[in-house]
Structure formats: structure tokens, C-alpha cells
Amino acid sequence: MSSVAETAVHEEKHSDVIGAKMGMWLFLFTELLLFGGMFILYAAYRAKHQHEFFLSSAELNMPIGTLNTALLLTSSLTVALSIEALRRGSRNLSKLFLLATIVMGFGFLVNKYFEWSAKIHHGIYPNSPELLKASAGEQLFFSLYYVMTGLHGLHVLVGVLVLGWIYTLIQKNPTDPGNFIKLENGGLYWHLVDVIWIFLFPLFYLIS
Amino acid sequence: MASHALTHTGHGEINYLDYKGKYSGILGWIFSTDHKRIGLLYLSGVTLFFVVGIFLGLMLRLEQLTMGETVVSARTYNTLFTLHGVIMIFLIVIPAIPAVLGNFFLPIQVGAKDVAFPRLNLFSWWLYMTGAVLALVSLFTKGGFPDTGWTFYAPYNIRTTTNVPLAVFAVFILGFSSILTGLNFITTVHRLRAPGMTWFRLPLFVWALYATSWIQILATPVVGITMLLIFFERLTGVGIFDPAKGGDPILYQHLFWIYSHPAVYIMILPGMGVVTEIIPTFARRTIFGYKAIAASSLGIALAGSLVWGHHMFVSGQSYTASVVFSLLTFLVAIPTAIKVFNWVATLYKGSIHLEPPLLYALSFIFLFMIGGFTGVMLGVLSVDVHLHDTYFVVGHFHYVMFGGTMMAFIAGMHYWFPKMFGRMYNKRVATLAWALIFIGFNMLYFTMLILGFEGMPRRYYDHLPQYHSGHVVATVGSWILVLGLLIMIINLVRALKSGPKAEANPWQGTTLEWQVPSPPPHENFEEIPVVDRGPYDH
């Protein structure tokens, strides 16, 4: 009987890593559906106001959008490299790549801040007198733009904080085997943030 | 069903109620990560809010006892039915079975010591309480609780002066709590089944919760974002659903029902799971059609996710969409009927023991059938035009949610009460309460079906003379119903303190929870059991 109990305990420990990853994937599904709701709205409104959406898109700052896309894509690479480095046991390299990811994520937010500020400065923000005079399609475009990139930006911020937290964990307890699964799950989350941006970027910036 | 190792778990093990953890007293409960204690935390919340929700319902009925504005004003009436709906749906019917009975019994039934993520489980409960408190705060702040109805339809949710932002934020938080519970259950079922507990040896309650959890994960985020959009709308005026700014209120309804229709399956599937546990135990035979019942849970989850448009037949969605949604709605009746036939086939030639849990389970089948059939009626396009927004819908909904889910929850409470607390309640009082509940329920809600068919609109604080006698019957029914519910609750609460000690297996159940002592020890099993047969082998 004891041998069975031992295998059970062994299996429980074993299941922790796979279980944790499964939990993370399930959570990512919920995130996809959260944004999925907004993509449905985007699709419905764009089908209705095709022309106004194209016009409004031209007003967005494409160079900054492109720069941000490059930043996020590269940061997805560095977080993957960081995971691989930790898998191979080189913690310092892992930390370096993780730091690079955090810096790029932060850079994305700074760009976003300047981009939003410029728009708001020009009087384009929800419920602004200027926007209220615009056509329905334009109002909807910018409403969706602010809500979707805003919620995405919030996810980037959370991602930066989570990765920062994992960085301090690796710093404090370098030998803790639990770090790896945390980093891997953090990386999965970061990739999700990246994937959503890959859809947001063309839908808002590249349709003009 | 399990090996001999379980028979001697009793000695020397401290049960979860007496267990001394890191904290003592109330802190030992609200910071406990034990799934059984968390189940009871939810139970206390659910019971408390249920009493509040019942009181609100009584007020609504009391206003309808007489014609004209008597007990409450029209505006208060609107707030009352909104609050009644929000509390009953988001704080009670959705969490009742998964979060109370599921938390308590799912890990034991799969042969695990706890759920996959115990701390996340506790966090879910804290989110639940936060959501509840926010909903209560919105009662007393800026404009008071919304008067929009629990559906928060646009554009009225933008125009009303009541405190919509806080209330929808509360719903968002509650949804998050529900998602995390679902995530926990799925991972637990995949990862923590005991050796030998194959998928087709899982109790069907676990199958039902498993299907429910998938809906919770896949549908709840959609209502989450919808509520957030209202929140943003009210705070910054983004206007995504505001027709004045080009927004489309119909899209709001789509997004709302993409979640909220599957949500009624989040509510009913676990109830069906409870009934599927009770029937074989009290018929003393194995379940008929195990795989069909398991598959029909998944079938209901799948088909139920594709029918949301039947709430919008008269809202202005396209006719083609309406026809498709109507057809899909009929399809849901198939897996549902499979379950009902299998329950009846299980009872056939069984050795029936008519104890209180079975009485409730049987009344579940009866009431749920009425709820289901009226649901199919409402799914018919032409009939729906006549019945939409009448008392018929209200009656149908209460037959399904109250006669279905809550009856199953009460059945489950009577079935598992001796296991949860190690004490037995007074069965004669329980039977009396059941009779009152059954009579009162049908007086109240069947009358509503008739009133609705005759044209009584829902959500009106007043009624015309031709509906008066019906309203009087319904209100008297509500008193009988509430009397029964109170006797039922008091009977159980009294048993907590002074009920006789219960045996480990008072009903001769065959699933794993009946193999451990009552109440179960702190970590459920001294040794993880090895399972070598199906769940209902008598």
C-alpha cells in the first residue's frame, strides 16, 4: 500500500508543474475571449462604417505604432530566450534577457503615453467636443481605439510588473526550482500580450 | 468502491471542522485554503444573500397583492426587481452548487486532498465577497442601486441616474471569481484524479461540474468585457453602445447574452449533476446510461453556447438569425431529455427509498420538465412574439432556476448534510418543508405562466383588474413557499447544533465521499485511494 501512496505523492508533485501550466493556458483562453468580445464589436462597426474607419486610421501615428510592434515582437523573443537560458541553468543570462524584456515593455508604454497625449492634445478623446462633432464611424473608431489599446496597455503594465516580480524571485532564491514554472507562465502571458497587439496594430494603424 | 485502505481512516485523524491550522477562530476560516472550509464559507454567503433575495421577492409579490401603488413606489419596484435578479443570479444561483457543493465534494469524489490551486480557491471566495459588498455599497451611494433590470440593457444603462457603474463593476468581479473556480475545477479533474479513477469512473456530478467549468471559462469573459464597457461608458463616455454616438444597443444585447445564456447552463448543469448522484443512491442501483449522461452534459454546454439570440427575437436582429437561433434552441432539448429519460430508467425497478433528498430530486425533475417545456415554447418564433416580456417568461425562468437549480441545491444539501457536518437533520420536518415548498412554488409560478399567457407584462409595478385574482393566488403561494423555505433552513441550522451524530454512510452511497468519515478528515484521505470500479456499483 505504501508504494501506491508514494507513487501518488510522486504524481502529485509531478502534476504541479503541468497543472500550473494548464491553469495558465485556461486563464489565457479567458483573456482571448475578453478581447474577443471587443474584436466582435470592431468587426461589426467596421462593416457598418468602412469608409470612416479608413479615414480615422490615417490619423494614427504609424511610425510609433510600428516601433511599438517591433519592441513587443523583440521582447517576446527575449522572454523566450530568458526561459531557455534558465532551463539550461545560466541564471545570469536569463536575468539579462528578462531585464531586456521588461525594458522593452516599459518602452512600449512610454511610446503609448506620448501617442495618447498627442491625440488628447488635439482634442481627440472620448466625449470630447471635437469628436462629438465627427461622424458616427469616426467616434466609434476612436472609442474602440482608446478602449482596446487602453486595455491592452493595462495588460502590458501587468505583464511588466509580473516579469519584474519573477526577476526579484530569481535574484533572491536563485536555486528555487519553482522559479522556472513561474517564468514559463509569465512568458506565456507575455506572448499573449504580444499576440493581441499583432492583431490590434494592423486593425487600427494599417487600414487607411 | 475503493480499496480496504480506506476503512481505517477514522482513527486518530482530526476532522476538518476541529482542525487547528495556522490561524484560529474566524481567521482559521477566512484564511483557510481547505476546499471544505471554503465550501462552507460560500455556503454562509449564499444562505445570507438567499434570505435577502427571498425578502426582496416577497416585497415584489406584496406590491402585486393589491392594485395601484401601495407598498412601494414604481421607481422602488424597478430597483427591487433589479436587485432581486442581480442577487439571486450572480450571488446565489451561479455559485450555489459549484462553489458550495462542488468545492466541498469534487476533490473528495475524484480522490484528491484538495483542488489544484487551493490559494486561488480562497482568492475566488474573497472576490465573491468583494463583489457582494460592492453591490451592497451601490445601494447606498450616488443614485442608489440600478433600476435597469438585471440585464443592464443599453441605452437605458447610460441614461439612468442610478449607480450603474458600481453595480456592473461588482458583476465583473463576481464573474472573475466564477472564472477562477472553473479554472481550478478543470485542472483538478485533469491532474488530481486518484490512481484508477479513469474518466469513465468519475461520478457524474464531477462530469457536470467539468462541463460547467468550461462554460464558466469560455463565456464569462465576454460578459466581463461587456460590463467593463458600460463602466467605461459611464466614466468617460466612450459611447460604444450609445446610439447618440453611433453605438448599437443590439450589439450590447448580443454580447450580454453570449454570456448570459450559457450562464443559465452554468446554473442548471451542476443541479443535474446533483440529481444524478442522488437517484442511484436512493434507487440502490447503478445509473442507467452513464456515458450518455456524461456526454449530454458536454452536449448541453456546447449547444447552449450557440442559442443566445433567442432572447432577441423581438429586438430587431435579422430574421435569418432568429430562425437559426430558434432551431439551435430546440436542439438543446435533446441532451436535456436524454438525462431525464436516464433518471427515470434508473428509478425503474429500483429499490426506492423515499428520503428527503430523493423527494427534492424528484420534484426537481417535475419542475424542471415544466421549465424546459415552457422554454421550448418560448423558442418558437411566432409564440415568442406573443409571450415575450410577459409573466410567462418570468414563470418559465423561475421553474428552471428555482424549481431546477435551487431545488437541486436543496436536494444536495439534504443529501450531503450528514457528510459535511457529521450530524443528521430531522427527516420528518424536512419532508414537511418539502411539501410546503412544492405546493407554494407551483401556486406562485404556475399562476405566473397563466398570467403571462393572458398578457400580463413583466416588470410592471401594477396590474389591470382582469389579472387581479391571479396575482392574489401567486402572492399567497409566495407566502407558503417562503414558509417552507424558512422551515427547511431552520431545520438544517438546528441540526448543526443538536442533530444526532451521523454515520459515515447513512444513505449507502457508493462514491468516494461516503468512504471517508463524517465529517471528513482535514486532508480527506489518510492514503490516496486506489479506485478499481465504477462510481455507482451497488
Complex-level ipTM: 0.90
What residues of B are in contact with residue A49 (Cβ under 8 Å)? Answer: 246
- Confidence band for B239, pLDDT divided at 50, 70 and 90: confident
Residue B12: the pLDDT is: 54
What is the biggest distance separating any 2 CA atoms in chain B, rounded to whole angstroms?
71
Q: Which of A36-40, A128-132, B4-8 shows the highest mean pLDDT?
A: A36-40
Compute the average pLDDT of residues A3-11. Answer: 42
Per-residue pLDDT of B3-13, as tens digits, reads 444 444 444 57
Domain with A94 in it: 22-205
How many independent structural domains does chain A possess? 1
The pLDDT of residue A177 is above 90:
no
Q: Taking a C-beta distance cutoff of 8 angstroms, is the pair B125, B36 a contact?
A: no
Q: What's the CATH code of the domain at A116?
A: 1.20.120.80
Q: What's domain B4-515's architecture?
A: Up-down Bundle (1.20)
Contacting residues for B284 by C-beta, under 8 A, at least 6 apart: B350, B351, B353, B508, B538
The pLDDT of residue A136 is above 80:
yes
Contacting residues for B480 by C-beta, under 8 A, at least 6 apart: B436, B439, B440, B443
Name the minimum distance, in Å, from the CA of B199 to any CA of chain A. 17
What residues of A are in contact with residue B527 (Cβ under 8 Å)? Answer: 1, 4-5, 8
Find the CB nearest A37 among B5, B222, B239.
B222
Residue A12: the pLDDT is: 43
Give the three-class secondary structure for B390. Answer: strand
- Confidence band for A2, pLDDT divided at 50, 70 and 90: very low
Residue A168: the pLDDT is: 96
Beta strands in B105-151 (DSSP E): none
What are B376's three cell numbers? 421550448
Per-residue pLDDT of A47-68, as tens digits, reads 999 999 999 999 999 999 999 9
**Alpha-carbon gap, residue B191 to A14, rounded angstroms:** 10
- What mean pLDDT, rounded, does chain B reach? 94
The pLDDT of residue A11 is above 80:
no
Per-residue pLDDT of A64-109, as tens digits, reads 999 999 999 999 999 999 999 999 999 999 999 999 999 999 999 9
Residue A182: the pLDDT is: 94
- What mean pLDDT, rounded, does chain A reach? 91
- List the beta bridge partners of residue B457: B390
What residues of A are in contact with residue B218 (Cβ under 8 Å)? Answer: 29-30, 33
- Confidence band for A4, pLDDT divided at 50, 70 and 90: very low
Residue with cell 507562465: A185
- Confidence band for B80, pLDDT divided at 50, 70 and 90: very high
Is A12 inside a domain boundary? no
Range in B4-13, B22-31, B138-147 with the lowest mean pLDDT? B4-13
Find the CB nearest B238 among A5, A35, A146.
A146
Residue B401: the pLDDT is: 96
- Confidence band for B19, pLDDT divided at 50, 70 and 90: confident
CB-CB under 8 Å, A139 with B239:
yes
Q: What pTM did the predictor assign?
A: 0.93
Name the minimum distance, in Å, from the CA of A32 to any CA of chain B. 9
Q: Taking a C-beta distance cutoff of 8 angstroms, is the pair B163, B145 a contact?
A: yes
| A140 at interface of B, judged by CB pairs closer than 8 A | yes
CB-CB under 8 Å, B530 with A4:
yes
CB-CB under 8 Å, B222 with A19:
no
Distances (CA, A) of B507 to A7, B203, B277: 33, 16, 12
- Confidence band for A176, pLDDT divided at 50, 70 and 90: confident
What are B463's three cell numbers? 396590474
Closest CA to A197 of A54, A30, A75, A52: A75
Residues in chain B: 538
Residue A55: the pLDDT is: 94
Residue A127: the pLDDT is: 87
The pLDDT of residue B139 is above 90:
no
Q: Taking a C-beta distance cutoff of 8 angstroms, is the pair A32, B200 a contact?
A: no
Find the CB nearest B225 among A19, A37, A137.
A37
Q: Hey, what amino acid is at A137?
A: G
Compute the average pLDDT of residues B421-447. Answer: 97
Find the CB nearest B240 among A1, A12, A143.
A143
Name the minimum distance, in Å, from the CA of B40 to any CA of chain A. 24
Residue A16: the pLDDT is: 76
Is A6 inside a domain boundary? no
Residue A3: the pLDDT is: 41
Buried b (16+ CB within 10 A) or exposed e, A41-68: bbeebbeebeebbebbbeebeeeebeeb
Is A152 inside a domain boundary? yes
Closest CA to B440 of B529, B357, B336, B367: B367
What residues of B are in contact with residue A23 (Cβ under 8 Å)? Answer: 116-117, 120, 183-184, 187
Residue A88: the pLDDT is: 93
Q: Taking a C-beta distance cutoff of 8 angstroms, is the pair B445, B399 a contact?
A: yes
Residue with cell 446554473: B267
Give the three-class secondary structure for B2. Answer: strand
The pLDDT of residue B1 is above 70:
no
Name the minimum distance, in Å, from the CA of A35 to any CA of chain B. 8
Compute the average pLDDT of residues A163-191. Answer: 94
Residue A8: the pLDDT is: 42
The pLDDT of residue A9 is above 50:
no
The pLDDT of residue B223 is above 80:
yes
Per-residue 3-state assignment (H helix, E strand, C coil) for chain A: CHHHHHHHHHHHHHHHHHHHHHHHHHHHHHHHHHHHHHHHHHHHHHHHCHHHHHHHHHCCCHHHHHHHHHHHHHHHHHHHHHHHHHHCCCHHHHHHHHHHHHHHHHHHHHHHHHHHHHHHHCCCCCCCHHHHHCCHHHHHHHHHHHHHHHHHHHHHHHHHHHHHHHHHHHHHCCCCCHHHHHHHHHHHHHHHHHHHHHHHHHHHHCCC
Residue B140: the pLDDT is: 87
Per-residue pLDDT of B400-432, as tens digits, reads 999 999 999 999 999 999 999 999 999 999 999
Is A40 inside a domain boundary? yes
Q: Kind and range of the H or E element at B228?
A: helix B204-236
Residue A1: the pLDDT is: 35
| B247 at interface of A, judged by CB pairs closer than 8 A | yes
